[in-house]
Amino acid sequence: MESSTTFFDYNDSPYSIRAGLVNAHKDYWQTLAKAGSWFNGAQRVAIAEEVRNALQCPFCAQRKTALSPYALQGEHLKGNVLSDDVVDAVHRVVTDQSRITKSYIEGNVQKGFSEEQYVELVGIAVNVLSIDEFHRALGLQSEPLPQPVAGEPDHYRPAHTEHDTGYVAMISPDGAVGPESDLWPEQTANVLRALSLVPDAVRSWMKISNEHYLSMEAMGNFTGPNGRSINRMQIELVAGRVSSINECFY
């Protein structure tokens, strides 16, 4: 069963939008609507809704300015589909990600909110925020969220995972084999491994990242990429500035 999603019409934009971007966004909304590995379609769409709620949430704004984000008690601006723990995680990822701690994630696990669910949630938040910020930057309305598709999560967990540099388990650098052999070559960087506990989250993120930034293959091309309005040096200047503003020190 396919989602009856109404897609944003980029032909109404005052800007010429690359077909690759348009198609990547459409593909993502269709994927979001379906059951993933640890959430069903309705929950996944609800996570996307919480990404948007977080940016307008008074409690998040208050917590952002607090000395300790774990000392305050309050109520999030939220929908009624997800548990409070899942809502809180979405809002932290969107508004105060630099202060998420290992003990916070471990505490959620003890309450039944698993690492796998957290990773799938982060993957959704990253992609939805990326698309929404693309729209905001161009002065476009946000795309409508899709209608969920019936189905249950498959609870797939990759075989070769380990706890090392991150707060959650990741596929080992040389463990992208078998069903995960498409994720990266023999070795990779932690930025790719970060979502690898849920391999489909990596795949969805890469499809968006390939268009919003660069594909893994294009990383080695220091003069291209072809078909872009700006060159590689200009792309990296923008990427560096955005990373600095977002306090991404990778």
More confident residue, 21 or 224: 21
Q: Which residue is listed with tokens 């923008």?
A: 238
Q: Minimum mean pLDDT among 127-136, 154-163, 235-244: which range?
A: 235-244
240 is written with which tokens?
């560096």
Residue 250 has what pLDDT? 64
Q: What is the dihedral of CA 65, 99, 41, 82, to 10 degrees?
A: -60
User: Up-side HSE of residue 90: CA atoms within 13 Å toward CB?
Assistant: 32
CA-to-CA distance for 244 and 238, rounded, in angstroms?
A: 10
Residue 2 has what pLDDT? 52
Peptide bond between residue 225 and the one before it cis (omega within 30 degrees of 0) = yes
Q: What is the dihedral of CA 163, 116, 142, 84, to 10 degrees?
A: -110
Confidence of residue 248 (pLDDT cuts 50, 70, 90): confident
228 is written with which tokens?
């872009």
More confident residue, 224 or 49: 49
Surface-to-core class of residue 208, CB atoms within 10 Å of its CB (0-12 exposed, 13-18 middle, 19+ buried):
buried
Residue among 137, 141, 205 nearest 10 (CA)? 141
Kind plus residue range of the DSSP H or E element containing 95: helix 84-95
Coil, strand or helix at 235: helix
Hey, how many other C-beta atoms are within 10 angstroms of the C-beta on 123? 24
Task: Report the chain's mean pLDDT, rounded to a whole number.
Answer: 93
Residue 225 has what pLDDT? 77
34 is written with which tokens?
């379906």
Residue 75 has what pLDDT? 96
* Residues listed for the chain: 250
CA-to-CA distance for 37 and 7, rounded, in angstroms?
A: 24
Residue 1 has what pLDDT? 46
- Measured CA to CA in angstroms, residue 15 lies from 11, 117, 135, 140, 214 at distances of 8, 37, 11, 10, 21
User: pLDDT tens, 162-186?
Assistant: 999 899 999 999 999 999 999 988 7
Residue 216 has what pLDDT? 83
**What is the arithmetic mean of pLDDT over 121-133?**
97
- Residue 161: beta bridge partners? 171
CA 93 to chain centre: 10
User: pLDDT tens, 145-154?
Assistant: 999 999 999 9
**What is the arithmetic mean of pLDDT over 185-195?**
85
Q: Identify residue 159 by its one-letter amino acid code.
A: A
**What is the arithmetic mean of pLDDT over 91-100?**
95
More confident residue, 49 or 218: 49
Residue among 48, 60, 192, 33 nearest 126 (CA)? 48
Q: Residue 129: is its pLDDT beyond 90? A: yes
- Measured CA to CA in angstroms, residue 24 lies from 16, 60, 128 at distances of 15, 30, 12
pTM exceeds 0.85, yes or no: yes
Could you tell me the residue ranges of all domains in the chain?
A: 15-212
More confident residue, 225 or 66: 66
